Amino acid sequence: MPSSSKLSPYRTDPTACEECDLLAPATELALGEAQHCVRCGHILTSHLPDQGRRPLAYGLAAIIMFVLANSFTFMSFSAKGLGQEMTFLQCITTLVNEGYLFLAAVLSLTLIGLPLVYMGSIMLVLWRLDKPMHSKALRSLGRLLCRIKPWLMVDVFLIGVLISLVKLMGMADIKMGLSFWAFVGYTLLLIKTISSLDRMWFWQRLFGQTEGRELDLTAGAREAGLVVCHICGALGELGQHSCRRCGAHLHSRKPGGLGRTWALLITSAILYVPANLYPIMDTVFLGDTSPSTILGGVVLLWALGSYPIAAIIFIASVVIPLAKILALFWLCYRVQTGDGASPLGKLKLYRMTEFVGRWSMIDVFVVAILAGLIRLDNLMTIYPGPAAVAFAGVVLITMVAAMSFDSRLIWDLQQGERERE
């Protein structure tokens, strides 16, 4: 028999849209329903089934799969009578041995450290929901969950593995070990863990609903003298320093303004040049070294007839980083010059740049996989190239730039134009 918590409606908190700042009232949601911002369409909260149990179950299963993914052979490679096996962790240890500590740290954090912290924190908090736990520790763990979520890149790594397979199929015999299939399970279960928990529901269960408010639903939070918490969605008074529910620092607009976004974009644009000019990997075959740039790898795959994979790498590693930099430059310029036209179109462009940015890490992961797998000393060995570090820097910095850009500034311009009319 379904539990009453599954069938009972979920009453949301009064809040404001974190993307356009429009106030939204408290409302009741049936199971499977979501509350959207009426102005920009952003999902404010959702009523998901069994939120107290499903993330716990998925998280535990994902951790088991992670252990299995590190217990057996991940992939094996054989050519001309020589073979090499690779474990999952060998992708990282190879980078450390070759002196690429920055890349090793990126892989360690995005594939192991942060996902395990995320799942462990969810399991600990949900397990202790009905038990006493220090409120400061609960708030710290809850804020940590919200902040590290964008940096979980296990799914991107899995796509990188599949692209590596296509690259190697014409060169040698490739076999997938038990750890590969465990890693597929780990990836799918991590995605289910993330998608089965709603942020607002989570904070309500920890510290209860926020106080009811009479809201002007045609106004933004700042116009009404309010500020929305970007961690738990609670409303506070303008000028209030920290959220009363989750303890996060409150700010009506993201600190640093456009200046921080400009600085990050310029840095990423500078790094984009060596990322495409220098080799992203070096292949040593029978003593001869053959460097390969990102575009060179795309051309080679196209020549070998791997058109879909060549297109994926070209789009993910060349088009998306450049398009993201140009899109954010354009958005910053439009906001700085006071252009308030088509705010919804600008917001959709921003959402797209924020969503696709992490997928550019595919090429970095491909290099790590190939360098960890192909270590046939006298026949062929692949080493990461200097462009791998620059390219990883481009991806990470553009992600931070997108996070530092405040989309509410777009709607502030429209409000300013209405006031002048």
Buried b (16+ CB within 10 A) or exposed e, 319-333: ebbbebbebbbebbe
- pTM: predicted TM-score of the whole model, two decimal places: 0.87
3-state helix, strand, coil in the chain (%, to 5): 55, 15, 30
List the beta bridge partners of residue 11: 28
Question: What tokens does 254 get?
Answer: 């993201």
Give residue 124's pLDDT. Answer: 84
Q: Give the SS3 label for residue 414.
A: helix
Distance, CA of 110 to CA of 106 (rounded, Å): 6
The C-alpha torsion from 113 through 174 and 95 to 188, rounded to 10°, is -10
| Other Cβ atoms within 10 Å of 202 Cβ, number | 23
CA distances from 265 to 386, 390, 392, 402, 416 (A): 21, 14, 14, 9, 26
* Class of residue 198 by CB neighbours under 10 A (exposed 0-12, middle 13-18, buried 19+): buried
Q: Give the SS3 label for residue 24.
A: strand
Structural domains in the chain, sorted by start? 1-49+209-240 (no CATH), 52-197+245-250 (no CATH), 252-421 (1.20.140)
Nearest to 167 by CA among 318, 321, 365: 365
Distance, CA of 198 to CA of 192 (rounded, Å): 12
Question: What tokens does 356 get?
Answer: 């696709």
End-to-end alpha-carbon separation of the chain, Å?
59
Distance, CA of 347 to CA of 331 (rounded, Å): 9
- Spatial neighbors of 318 by CB under 8 A, at least 6 apart, are 276, 294, 295, 298
- List, run by run, the mean pLDDT of 10-residue segments along the chain (421 residues): 53 92 92 92 92 91 94 82 80 86 91 92 81 76 89 91 77 84 95 92 87 82 91 90 90 86 94 90 72 81 75 83 92 88 90 86 85 72 86 92 91 64 45
Give residue 131's pLDDT. Answer: 67
CA distances from 92 to 114, 267, 384 (A): 15, 26, 12
CA distances from 65 to 71, 116, 155, 163, 180 (A): 10, 12, 14, 22, 10
Q: Give the SS3 label for residue 283.
A: strand
Distance, CA of 388 to CA of 363 (rounded, Å): 8
List the beta bridge partners of residue 174: 77
Handedness of CA 73, 78, 81, 82 (dihedral sign): negative
